[in-house]
Amino acid sequence: MGLDLRVPIGMMFGMIGILLVVIGVVTKPDAKTLGVNINLWWGLVLIAFAVFMLLTARHAAAKAKAAAAKKE
């Protein structure tokens, strides 16, 4: 079937999300925007998006494999 672009996109967003979460946890408590640790929250959002992308890629691969098996 070829390369599914959701895999590298999900991995990229996952790595950036992990970096933001680590920065958000390690930084001083006074490094907040309006009382919100923006690095931590956006890191979690990016990780959630990465998980979504990887799960949809996995689902598509399983669906394509089942269709190929059914065809034979």
- Confidence grade of residue 1 (pLDDT, cut at 50, 70, 90): low
Q: Would you kindly state where each structural domain of the chain is located, as residue ranges?
A: 6-26+37-66
What's the whole-model pTM score? 0.83
SS3 call for 33: strand
Q: What is the pLDDT of residues 21-45, one digit of tens each?
A: 999 999 877 767 788 889 999 999 9
Tally of CB atoms within 10 A around 62: 10
Q: Which residues contact 22 (CB under 8 A, 6 or more apart)?
A: 43
- Please determine, for residue 57, whether its predicted confidence score (pLDDT) is greater than 90: yes
